[in-house]
Amino acid sequence: MPKTGIPGKKLIELYKSMLKIRKVELRIEELYSQDEMKTPVHLCIGQEATSAGVCACLKKEDYVFTNHRGHGHYLAKGGDLKAFISELYCKEAGCSRGRGGSMHLIDERVGLLGASAIVGGSIPIAVGAALGSVFQKKKSVSAVFFGDAAAEQGVLYESLNYAALKKLPVIFVCENNFYSVFSNLKSRQVKDNIYLRAKVFSMPAHRVDGTNVMDVYSTCAKAVKYARSGKGPVFMECRVYRWRKHVGPGSDIELGYRSEKELDSWLKKCPVNTFKERLLKTKLLNAKKIHSIDKELDSEISEAFEYAQKCALPDKKEALKYLFHEKDDYALD
Amino acid sequence: MPKTGIPGKKLIELYKSMLKIRKVELRIEELYSQDEMKTPVHLCIGQEATSAGVCACLKKEDYVFTNHRGHGHYLAKGGDLKAFISELYCKEAGCSRGRGGSMHLIDERVGLLGASAIVGGSIPIAVGAALGSVFQKKKSVSAVFFGDAAAEQGVLYESLNYAALKKLPVIFVCENNFYSVFSNLKSRQVKDNIYLRAKVFSMPAHRVDGTNVMDVYSTCAKAVKYARSGKGPVFMECRVYRWRKHVGPGSDIELGYRSEKELDSWLKKCPVNTFKERLLKTKLLNAKKIHSIDKELDSEISEAFEYAQKCALPDKKEALKYLFHEKDDYALD
Amino acid sequence: MPWTNLFVERKEPPFDQDEGKDLRKISFAEAIREALDQALERDKRVFVMGQGVDAPGGLWGTTLDLHKKHGAKRVFDVPLSENALTGVAIGAALVGMRPVFVHNRPDFILLSMDQIVNHAAKWSYMFGGKVKVPMVIRSVICRGWGSAAQHSQALHSLFMHIPGLRLVMPSTAYDAKGLLISSIVDENPVIFLEHRWLFKHTGYVPTGLYSIPFGKGAVRKEGNDVTIIGISHMAVEAIRAAAELQKEGIDAEVIDLRTLKPLDTGIILESLKKTGRLIIADVGWKTGGVGAEISAIAAECGFADLKAPILRIGCLDTPTPSSYVLEEEFYPGVDDIVQAARQLLKK
Amino acid sequence: MPWTNLFVERKEPPFDQDEGKDLRKISFAEAIREALDQALERDKRVFVMGQGVDAPGGLWGTTLDLHKKHGAKRVFDVPLSENALTGVAIGAALVGMRPVFVHNRPDFILLSMDQIVNHAAKWSYMFGGKVKVPMVIRSVICRGWGSAAQHSQALHSLFMHIPGLRLVMPSTAYDAKGLLISSIVDENPVIFLEHRWLFKHTGYVPTGLYSIPFGKGAVRKEGNDVTIIGISHMAVEAIRAAAELQKEGIDAEVIDLRTLKPLDTGIILESLKKTGRLIIADVGWKTGGVGAEISAIAAECGFADLKAPILRIGCLDTPTPSSYVLEEEFYPGVDDIVQAARQLLKK
Ligand SMILES: Cc1ncc(C[n+]2csc(CCOP(=O)(O)OP(=O)(O)O)c2C)c(N)n1
Ligand SMILES: Cc1ncc(C[n+]2csc(CCOP(=O)(O)OP(=O)(O)O)c2C)c(N)n1
Ligand SMILES: [Mg+2]
Ligand SMILES: [Mg+2]
């Protein structure tokens, strides 16, 4: 087994980060049929390594922007779990105060500055945050997650050009899971070469096995260093797979738009399990440790769900609130 | 002098086409200060070879879409001269019946289906015409002219992907004159490599000396053959230079946004004169022939201006006309 | 010409009441599908494009299996390039095709505003009528399961303002089919919007091809006390409200405009002559919405008949909240209409 | 906080009449430039971006040489990527900057409708107010030299409909400066539109920094017979029309709303109480425009005061034609207002 060059502590952190995402998603899936989370959920089961690998390279002061499939990004960046689950339960204590739902998560205290459900929509915004960071001499890096379908939106190319032109500290993270709802990449893009389309804008661009958290982490660590030092943006195309339906809990394999064989081949590459086994082999993990991590996460998650189920719904009378900011009270100021 | 492989007749045709554009533009420039052409004119003096070279490869049934700097494209595709000049004079006999002006030329009878003054705006429309052509099994090719700044618009990349994905017969012609109004390409695009950004969408993409009409013609002739045979789109980046102001007559060198030296180096590469000299050397032209071509064109142009100046303005009462088509009376149907 | 023998329906449509030999009860979604199916059948220039049109489920059934019947070349999925693909539809229309471009949310159409407003709407006029752009942009609008701010807008009022566009918003299965046919047959760009809550509504729909003229509203219920104009799904709510009001002795007239561009000002002014009172209930935001235009027409052309203030009902002027408790506050409904009518009639 | 000591102007602005010690007469364009200059000076978070902001001429002088004074990092040209760059401005605002994004035509803003409507306008509400987007989108609107359909639109009425946006349309040099400062200081996305024909208009403008509160209209001329509301450049035309009308014995009151979102409904209703008659003159298309909204407010909240139909004046409902003879027909002017007033007062 080759050396990873990643410290053991970091590896455990990566494992926990992925596992937490997986467990939270599974819990959402389990409870979704109770019809209390009245918001469309786009589960990222199978794609945990990109969230964990990328965000482990970022500091709290770095920014993350995400999309409709943003649960993993939110959690990996350190977003508050209770506020997230409360948001799914449409509660006032939700991270977006019940105004946003699953597709619009935010935790501005850890630099997670929002999620757009318009495919590609948050890409230029992330570029703008990087521009702001340069203005403010903050050295904050801005990372943005988006799917393969975002590579069909012109705004990606406009953003790539601008970020490269201005050498802005942006990490573009494309999670290529080969599908947009029911449509395979092949029927939407002339060639499966998203990262090369970034490279032509004169930035380092990598294709990464997005199921291998160490690959994601190592590539991104270098990218962040590069961006933070003022050299400009970096692009990562992470090849992953969505295990569940496009939206909502459960499998959709019966619909026939993708084959069981295809799904199976990716299930074998489960980012959580393959990494767990690796850690077991290298003795960084053992049965006992696994058990204690499981227990810790399970109880944190249970607590969050209990909290979310109990806390208050928004007040109808406040339906107009938050449309405008009245005065200068902004934390990042 | 190397053989061009282009028949002499075609070479003369190319020369006439360029010269006509040059002469028309010069006449417009000369008369513009009379304030009778109340429409913003974007002269293409210096860029005639792209119009002539590309359109000489097209049949009447092929489509052309153009932009704000479209005089040359219109003329080279065979657009009616009187209707064009009348349009500049805001007359009802104008090709767009005085509704469009210089930036919105059309001659649907020769396949020139319109011009958008939104940078990049006509690119996807040209792709759509190609799609229509495939539907109708017409074998018509659709060519679209646009400037270097259009390569900053996301819609170009969306269009490239779609045309390539569907193998549509589109000829993308980027006239890279290195400026968008006062801004140099360097300050707007991270790298001067527009054609490579098309290549990454899996289509043949060429960089051509846009002042050399034979290069443009030869490259485009192959492109049209390729597209017409159903193989898909082709991209041409033609490197040219705008001699005049961005809009309106005259030079703007005194503004200082570009150097006299730069302009001079391009003046030396005058597409009309360099080609004329070549034709003289190869004896395809002689003084007499040149004189008769000049005379012929001059009188055609004078006639068109006289016509345009005399003919009627639109009727105020018809200001609402042409907003909607009431019945199926469309020529292309 | 494929459409020369098209039957044009000129009488008011049967509304949940008539039954004839060529009629059967089908859903709004099935009516849309039938219109597409028959148009594809009749006219080889027609094609249907859009994300998911060939997908399982077929966009709430509205395009279900059409690709199997008419071929994947005529009914096809597209990349997520809303702006370019609108241009593609325009270009195809310019050379003689009749594209129907389907969006499953109008929110995404905001990406193609340049192509719609600067190009499709202007291409005919800007070129002196030398060419035309016969195309339909269909979109499903409004509410659904906590969809929140970017997946539940109406946005029809934006198109109301743009010269050169048609704007069609049917509320019955009958109108859905007839008006979609008219939209495909029309020589101009048409925005055709379907409220998601209408898809399961059923109504009697002729089996054959028919078209409904643009610019003709329908009186859904006659009445003398107050005119209620309902846009799209609010026409349904208005009928319900009118039933409520009848119990209280308020005799409301309900009008469904069916197309907003062109707009049937005649039917509005006629009704006002009788009732002197006007309520406009819309599925979108109130401020700057189509309700304002209708109100302004009444205040300009029907002023002499007005006995009371003109009231508008619409969504709250905020982005759509995701939480269902806030959604209840956000969306207008029967109650809002009933209360408005009571207010006007001081009951 | 750079803006805590900002002087807020609460009285009506002097309109081509007052002269004080800190006032001098400058043009509307100079007033815009001065606001930007002083804001850049006062607040290091402010930056100005847009095609040609650093170019010779400086966009009709409104940004002239600001890049030289404040540095090319704070005042900079941008690529032709209107959609992405709007997102860039949003992102910069989210992390605490105060971008001013300048467009030389609103037509190009249609490319960024997704970022403006789906993102800038919604980001605060959609995230429960956790973050904010303080940014200004400036654009020069309307007429010029046969500019035709894609280079001369107004489009403010589209923004009128979108919750979460401010909409500012000054008509005097004084308002231009004060309201641009207010827009930069505001915590929310602001659409700030300048009619091209106003740039050379001059007026008395204080030399120092001042802000004008949003949502406060100004009575430009008092009168008792009819209220004329002029939007942007039509406020100027309305004043001219009122002078004409005075000669005929018609005493018009002229109101300049200055900001459309928020809208000063109070000033409209107050005026109506006196005059009972309302004309709204707009610089954009009539159908579905802001005039409709103002009319609808009057017909709802000022109904009891109305003595006559509410009239709207606006551009013809077509794309802008290029030919000057058709332009004359297309654009409304003084005469249209005068005629409307005569009609209302039956003279
Ligand atoms: C501009 C736009 N068009 C269409 C949609 C509808 N939509 C929501 S998610 C989605 C799939 C996007 O695929 P991808 O970007 O690859 O992300 P994934 O869902 O695979 O994670 C689509 C088409 C949208 N949200 N935005
Ligand atoms: C979308 C858009 N943004 C801005 C403009 C303003 N504008 C008109 S022409 C032009 C220059 C475009 O440069 P390029 O595409 O290189 O064409 P060129 O004028 O050099 O021929 C600009 C910026 C526009 N018309 N459309
Ligand atoms: Mg995907
Ligand atoms: Mg150029």
How many angstroms separate the CA atoms of B189 and B180, rounded? 11
Using most ligand atoms within 8 A of CB, pick from C80, C109, C145 the residue to mutate for ligand 1.
Answer: C80
How many angstroms separate the CA atoms of A35 and C257, rounded? 37
Shortest distance, CA B19 to any CA of chain C (angstroms):
27
Question: Is the bond preceding residue D262 a cis peptide, omega within 30 degrees?
Answer: yes
Q: Is the pLDDT of residue B196 over 50?
A: yes
In this complex, do B189 and A165 lie within 8 Å of one another by their Cβ atoms?
A: yes
What are the C-alpha distances in Å from B68 to residues B71, B115, B145, B240, D164? 8, 7, 10, 16, 35
Q: Is the pLDDT of residue C318 over 60?
A: yes
Assign A333 a pLDDT band (cuts: 50, 70, 90): very low
C-beta A122 within 6 A of ligand 1: no
Q: Which of C82, C194, C270, C327 is catalytic?
A: C82
Output b/e per residue, B3-29; b: 16+ Cβ within 10 A: eeebeeeebeebbebbbbbbbbbebbb
Q: Is the pLDDT of residue D57 over 90?
A: yes
How far does Cα A193 stand from its chain's mean position? 21
How many angstroms separate the CA atoms of A242 and A43, rounded? 8
How many angstroms separate the CA atoms of A19 and A9, rounded? 15
* Chain C partners within 8 Å of A181 (Cβ): 51-52, 55
Mind giving me the DSSP string for C21-38?
A: TTEEEEEHHHHHHHHHHH
pLDDT at residue B332 in the model: 31
C-beta B147 within 6 A of ligand 2: yes
* Chain A partners within 8 Å of D92 (Cβ): 128-129, 131-132, 135
C197: its two tokens:
């809550």
- Reported as a single tens digit per residue, the pLDDT across A256-297 is 999 999 999 999 999 999 999 999 999 999 999 999 999 999
How many angstroms separate the CA atoms of B278 and B292, rounded? 18
Q: Is the pLDDT of residue C17 over 90?
A: no
Query: Is-contact B130 C55, C-beta < 8 A?
Result: no
With CA atoms as reference, report the closest residue to D237 among D220, D217, D258, D261: D220
Assign A2 a pLDDT band (cuts: 50, 70, 90): low
Ligand 2 center from residue B321 Cα (angstroms): 29
| Chains B–C, number of C-beta pairs less than 8 Å apart | 167
What are the C-alpha distances in Å from B241 to residues A35, B117, B179? 64, 19, 8
How many angstroms separate the CA atoms of B253 and B243, rounded? 9
Q: Which helix (H) or strand (E) holds C283?
A: strand C278-285
C-beta A181 within 6 A of ligand 1: yes
**Reported pTM:** 0.97
Q: Which of A48-52, C260-264, D139-143, D238-242 has the lowest mean pLDDT?
A: D139-143
* 3-state helix/strand/coil string of D26-38: EEHHHHHHHHHHH
With CA atoms as reference, report the closest residue to A142 among A48, A52, A223, A50: A223
Assign C22 a pLDDT band (cuts: 50, 70, 90): confident
Q: Which of A123, A131, A330 sits opposite D92 (nearest CB)?
A: A131
Count of Cβ atoms closer than 10 Å to residue C75 Cβ? 26
* Chain C partners within 8 Å of A105 (Cβ): none
- Reported as a single tens digit per residue, the pLDDT across C193-235 is 999 999 999 999 999 999 999 999 999 999 999 999 999 999 9
Angle of helix D290-301 relative to helix C290-301, nearest 10 degrees?
A: 70
Assign B333 a pLDDT band (cuts: 50, 70, 90): very low
Query: Is-contact A152 A188, C-beta < 8 A?
Result: yes
What are the C-alpha distances in Å from C196 to residues A35, C105, C148, C232? 20, 10, 15, 10
In this complex, do C161 and D285 lie within 8 Å of one another by their Cβ atoms?
A: yes
In this complex, do A153 and B154 lie within 8 Å of one another by their Cβ atoms?
A: yes
How many angstroms separate the CA atoms of A2 and B93, rounded? 78
Ligand 2 center from residue C31 Cα (angstroms): 45
- Reported as a single tens digit per residue, the pLDDT across A187-207 is 999 999 999 999 999 999 999
* Chain A partners within 8 Å of D124 (Cβ): 322-325
- Reported as a single tens digit per residue, the pLDDT across A212-245 is 999 999 999 999 999 999 999 999 999 999 999 9
What are the C-alpha distances in Å from A111 to residues A66, A278, A331, D189? 11, 31, 11, 21
D327: its two tokens:
């332009």
Shortest distance, CA D91 to any CA of chain A (angstroms):
4
In this complex, do C91 and B130 lie within 8 Å of one another by their Cβ atoms?
A: yes
Q: Which of D67, D151, D156, D201 is catalytic?
A: D151
Interface test with D, best of B92, B105, B153 (most D CBs within 10 A): B153
With CA atoms as reference, report the closest residue to D271 among D259, D256, D293, D289: D256
How many angstroms separate the CA atoms of A228 and A141, rounded? 6
Contact with chain C for residue A182, Cβ under 8 A: yes
Assign B2 a pLDDT band (cuts: 50, 70, 90): low
- Reported as a single tens digit per residue, the pLDDT across C170-192 is 999 999 999 999 999 999 999 99
pLDDT at residue C48 in the model: 98
Among protein residues, the one with the nearest Cα to ligand 2's atom 19 is B180
What are the C-alpha distances in Å from D233 to residues D103, D141, D171, D256? 18, 10, 6, 10
In this complex, do D128 and A96 lie within 8 Å of one another by their Cβ atoms?
A: yes
* Chain C partners within 8 Å of B158 (Cβ): 79, 81, 83-85
* Partners of residue B205 on adjacent β-strands: B235
pLDDT at residue D22 in the model: 78
Contact with chain A for residue B309, Cβ under 8 A: no
- Reported as a single tens digit per residue, the pLDDT across A99-140 is 999 999 999 999 999 999 999 999 999 999 999 999 999 999
Nearest CA in chain C to B105: C127
C-beta B71 within 6 A of ligand 2: no
Shortest distance, CA B104 to any CA of chain C (angstroms):
7
Q: Is the pLDDT of residue D18 over 60?
A: no
* Chain B partners within 8 Å of A203 (Cβ): 190
Per-chain residues with Cβ under 5 A from ion ligand 3: A 147-148, 177, 179
For the question of residue C151 being annotated catalytic, the response is yes
- Reported as a single tens digit per residue, the pLDDT across C121-137 is 999 999 999 999 999 99
How much of chain B exceeds pLDDT 70, in percent? 97
Count of Cβ atoms closer than 10 Å to residue C145 Cβ? 18
Interface test with C, best of B102, B103, B144, B155 (most C CBs within 10 A): B155
* Partners of residue D202 on adjacent β-strands: D27
User: Residues 119..138 of A with a Cβ closer than 8 Å to D: which?
Assistant: 121-133, 135-136
Mind giving me the DSSP string for D248-269?
A: TT--EEEEE-SEEETT-HHHHH
How much of chain D exceeds pLDDT 90, in percent? 91
How far does Cα B256 stand from its chain's mean position? 27
How many angstroms separate the CA atoms of D108 and D182, rounded? 24
Count of Cβ atoms closer than 10 Å to residue A214 Cβ? 18
C-beta A117 within 6 A of ligand 1: yes
For the question of residue C201 being annotated catalytic, the response is no
Q: Is the pLDDT of residue D16 over 50?
A: no
Query: Is-contact C121 C164, C-beta < 8 A?
Result: yes
Ligand 4 center from residue B179 Cα (angstroms): 4
C-beta B25 within 6 A of ligand 2: no
With CA atoms as reference, report the closest residue to B284 among B195, B198, B214, B191: B214
